[in-house]
Chains A and B, each alone.
Chain A
Amino acid sequence: MKKFDYLKPTSLDEVFSLMEKFGSNAKLIAGGTDVMVLLKRKRIFPDVLISLRSVPNMAYIKDEKDKIRIGSMTTHRELETSTVIKEKLTALYDAVINLGSVQIRNVATIGGNIANAAPSADTACPLLVLDASCLLISSKGEREVELKDFFIAPGETVMKQDEILKEFIIPKPSKLSGSAYWKLSRRKAMDLPILGVAISLAMNEDKSIKKARIGLGVAAPTPIRAFKAEEFLTGKFLTDEVLAEAGNIASKEASPRDSIRGEAWYRREMIRVLTKRVATISFKRANIV
């Protein structure tokens, strides 16, 4: 592992000036659970690590009137133990309770999970189906980017070199809506997903689907939405046939590959069956009588 300096700025302004000073020789570090692995495997060679840990007001869950804001430095453990997340953002809750292990969740952050931009990031699919946006800030100002437009490639996002991820803004789910996430892995802990499927459904009173969102992880180079399957579901009733067809469409939208973690044929098959399962759970959670 290469030698590096570890800097601990105590304000955002200080962060920005350090980022400007070191440019591409600097790497931001939050919980470090991805950064340290990359360093040890010699995949990155920064001269300095700029820690966000001592910057105040970066970890929070704000339950506002029609939005929920989550600070990027919020740990998965904080999300897991928050009733707001458990009750209102159920898909995200499903994701954080199975991420890594308690030890990992105690230090790893949601901002790091998304900024790292792995196709397997567990919180990505839930945030996608919850229509989350990312608030990016720099010394020059701030901008909001919808998460569906955020990822470019594995490890690559639309964030510029001088920007940091400040918070996630999530519209509060309407009544008659429900969301869920299914992480498919080989064991119950300490494992990245072979495939992740998140779905949120907003229902009409007549039990037809008003709005559907399907997020797929490890199904393409980045976490993706299955737009065609979403469109297909809109206006339909949740019958076995409809769900099976939605699964087929989503499966075709994906481009999974063979990897040591799992084989492509299996992933494709699982998109079909899990679309059905996760939609069923979301529907139940929508609580229509």
Chain B
Amino acid sequence: MVDFVGKDILRVDAFDKALGSILYGPDQNIEGALWLLAKRSPYPHARILSIDTSQAETIDGVVRIFTAADIPGENSFGIIPVTKDQTLLAKDKVRYIGDAVALVAAYDLKSAKEAVDKIKVNYEELPAIYDPEESLKKGRILIHEKGNLLCSSRIIKGDIEKGFSNADIIIEREYRTSRLEHLSLEPEGGIGYFEDGRIVIIASTQNPHYDRDDVARLLGLSPDKVRVIQCGTGGGFGGKLDISVQGFIGLAVYHLKRAVRMVYSREESFLTTAKRHPLIMRYKTGAKKDGKLTAVKVDIIGDTGAYASYGLAVIMRATVHATGPYEVENVYVDGKMAYTNLPWCGAMRGFGVPQIAFAHESQMDILAHELNIDPIDIRLINAFKKGSVTATGQRLDHSVGIKESLYKIKEIRDKYSWSKKKGERLGTYIGVGVGSMWYGIGNTGVPNPSTAQVELLPDGSAILYTGAAEIGQGSDTILLQIASQRLGIAIDRIKLVRGDTLYTTNAGATSASRQTYISGNAVMDSIDHLEDILKAEASEQMDLPSSELIVKDGKIFSIKDSSKSIDIFELVKICNKNKVRVIGEGRFDPPTIKLDPETGQGVPYATYAFASQVSRVEVDTFTGFIKVLNSASAHDVGKAINPKMVKGQITSGVAMGIGMALMEEFVPNKTKSLKDYYIPTSMDMPEIIPIIVEDKEPTGPFGAKGVGEPALIPTAPAIINGIYDAVGVRITHLPANLERVIGELLKKEGA
């Protein structure tokens, strides 16, 4: 009996990572590869009048300089098919400081840099817009021809006015969040070359099949003429879902048919890759005296910067999740995403939900304080349960572990008697805050299938083929655990072929916490099909109808007479002798129903993850410094395929959430690199208690859902609510940095 699911299997890449033998994007190199470097716009908004590359071309070492005119296909890309508005090399206009206008290929980086300096671009500066609300006003200068509104999303349920008239208390507040940088361990990078009539690109990415398709589109090629191989990816967090170096590498290889290399410096990565969307969220929440919510009205305005990227997905997700994991009869949510001339925003761990959770959980906390109800209890009063109906009209029938997560953190809080008190040093106070969240697994109300194949080999081993990018979150290990358990073959007997578009099929993006659930199911499905093939062969060999056969412990048995059996690998040998590969093809697309464009009603996700967190913080009222002392997070993951890795995700989410809550803020034009963008260090970490809740999801592989993004989401709200508990000031603009905390404390003192 093999038993791999639910076990703390060591990550399959642990040794290679520890030994440093995995090559990440910037490590990729080929003898003689040319260096690529982009020339970028110094203006936030300008028309390109002319580009003169003649002087740059005379530099020794420069091989070629490309501009938009060299792009053979569609000079527009973007991950969402209906909003491909980003140019690889700007054609007539630049829309943010950092927009690429030309690409240099040179023998060495020094010549490339020199050439970039020598390229002369003649611009006509245009007025720029930096504020999303300004951007949406009539008569403003247009950033994109179709207008400055990227998209909007609305959710309407019940009768919002009635909901407020039934309320005993109404809380209205505005919340804001900041642009954030993903700050993966390694910046974007990769290589490309020409082989077998194909452009081959090896790069760090979260989505090799999307990369292939959009690069092919840019180059006017059919997708099979481009091969993308995912190399070691030390982190993505959503920042490597968009194309970065891939497009440039593709363009250069297309024209030069020789090996090239491109690596972003950290500064370039800061300047030119996606950021987290800052959202302005205006909340009006109504509740009865007993804490029961009656109405939630939310107005969201997002700033997507210069380009769309994932803006549409972020605003949809933010609106869908705006109530929080609570039953609310009357809901009205309106979300708009506006273009500005600031660095563009895209996916980042949670797609708008970390922002919206900060707002809805602050509202819950205010209600709890106003109504004098324990903050955990007020959540329990409202939390979803089996049978609850969400704001989009979806009935939640299974795997709704939100209450369980609240009980778990309550247990911890009460066991350790975490409560408000004075700190040790003069002027310090300790408080305790709670945050909950829900998170839909997979893309919002659109098909987002995954595919996989499993092949058996005559030597008793197997191969798992998957397009799912491993970005450090652990999908390689998880998918192998699932395959191993389902096949009944030890994990070390299964070889993994992953993230190479030549050998694997599309698994969709490693995003939206979807790979365990969706690709995990695709693996399960492929093994179902594999067994059908085996049974068909066994049926011939054993002279029994397929319907009378079962697969168990590596053998196929007759249901009626268990003495009759045949080893599956014997069957594989027979099939292989007849030149038939024993390979099962699997697919899974979570069942969803597209949201109604007017009312947002529908089934956006097949399943949701739920979580609650309690954090204990110390506020230094002299300096505004916040120290997170302890934190306990309970996550309903359906089933933990690998508990240790789930705990790893939870811990990392708390770490990242501390950054979002307290110090991370990308200020366009000011933030240039690590020296002026603060992320927490190990010294800033609290004690973290990760708790796994398993309310099994019947449609998930072994009951599993997802945890990658949920891990982050409750952290900022728990910390912010903890600050309020400690000192009675409410931070409504993230991050709660020193100046903001002191500013609020001084305001309170003055009042």
- A interface residue numbers (CB < 8 A to B): 101, 184, 186-191, 194, 260-263, 266, 269-270, 273-274, 276-277, 280
Given contacts A277-B622, A280-B426, contact A187 B738 (CB under 8 A): no
Query: Residues of B contacting A190 with CB < 8 Å?
Result: 681
Name the contact of B681 in the complex, choosing from A184, A187, A266, A273 (C-beta under 8 A): A187
Distance A188 CA – B427 CA, assembled complex (angstroms): 19
Distance A208 CA – B450 CA, assembled complex (angstroms): 76
Distance A270 CA – B143 CA, assembled complex (angstroms): 42
Query: Residues of B contacting A194 with CB < 8 Å?
Result: 738
Given contacts A194-B738, A262-B739, contact A189 B623 (CB under 8 A): no
Query: Residues of B contacting A101 with CB < 8 Å?
Result: 681
Distance A37 CA – B746 CA, assembled complex (angstroms): 38
Query: Residues of B contacting A261 with CB < 8 Å?
Result: 676
5 A-B interface contacts by CB (under 8 A): A194-B738, A270-B622, A270-B623, A274-B623, A280-B426
A98 to B, closest residue via Cβ: B683
Given contacts A184-B625, A186-B678, A187-B681, contact A277 B739 (CB under 8 A): no
**B137 at interface by CB-CB < 8 Å:** no
Number of interface residues of B (CB under 8 A): 22
**A187 contacts B683, CB within 8 Å?**
yes
**A274 contacts B739, CB within 8 Å?**
no
B674 to A: closest C-beta gap in Å: 9
B112 to A: closest C-beta gap in Å: 16
Distance A280 CA – B111 CA, assembled complex (angstroms): 59
**A186 contacts B663, CB within 8 Å?**
yes
**B622 contacts A273, CB within 8 Å?**
yes
Given contacts A266-B738, A270-B623, A274-B622, contact A188 B676 (CB under 8 A): no
Given contacts A273-B622, A277-B426, contact A189 B683 (CB under 8 A): yes
B749 to A: closest C-beta gap in Å: 11
A228 to B: closest C-beta gap in Å: 22
**B747 at interface by CB-CB < 8 Å:** no
**A187 contacts B680, CB within 8 Å?**
yes
A120 to B: closest C-beta gap in Å: 12
**B737 at interface by CB-CB < 8 Å:** yes
Q: Please report whether the interface of chain B is mostly helix, strand, loop or mixed according to DSSP.
A: loop
**B172 at interface by CB-CB < 8 Å:** no
Q: Scan residues 651-693 of chain B and give those whose CB is less than 8 A from a CB of chain A.
A: 663, 667, 670-671, 676, 678, 680-684
- How many A-B pairs have beta carbons closer than 8 Å: the answer is 50
**B490 at interface by CB-CB < 8 Å:** no
Query: Residues of A contacting B676 with CB < 8 Å?
Result: 260-261
Query: Residues of B contacting A189 with CB < 8 Å?
Result: 681-684
A282 to B: closest C-beta gap in Å: 14
Distance A262 CA – B683 CA, assembled complex (angstroms): 21
Query: Residues of A contacting B427 with CB < 8 Å?
Result: 273, 277
**B738 contacts A262, CB within 8 Å?**
yes
Distance A190 CA – B681 CA, assembled complex (angstroms): 8
Distance A261 CA – B738 CA, assembled complex (angstroms): 11
A188 to B, closest residue via Cβ: B683
Given contacts A266-B738, A277-B427, contact A184 B678 (CB under 8 A): no
Distance A273 CA – B663 CA, assembled complex (angstroms): 21
Query: Residues of A contacting B550 with CB < 8 Å?
Result: none
A192 to B, closest residue via Cβ: B675
Query: Residues of A contacting B682 with CB < 8 Å?
Result: 189
A259 to B, closest residue via Cβ: B676
Distance A280 CA – B746 CA, assembled complex (angstroms): 22
Query: Residues of A contacting B426 with CB < 8 Å?
Result: 277, 280
**B742 contacts A191, CB within 8 Å?**
no
Distance A189 CA – B678 CA, assembled complex (angstroms): 11
B745 to A: closest C-beta gap in Å: 10
Query: Residues of A contacting B742 with CB < 8 Å?
Result: 266, 269
Distance A165 CA – B684 CA, assembled complex (angstroms): 35
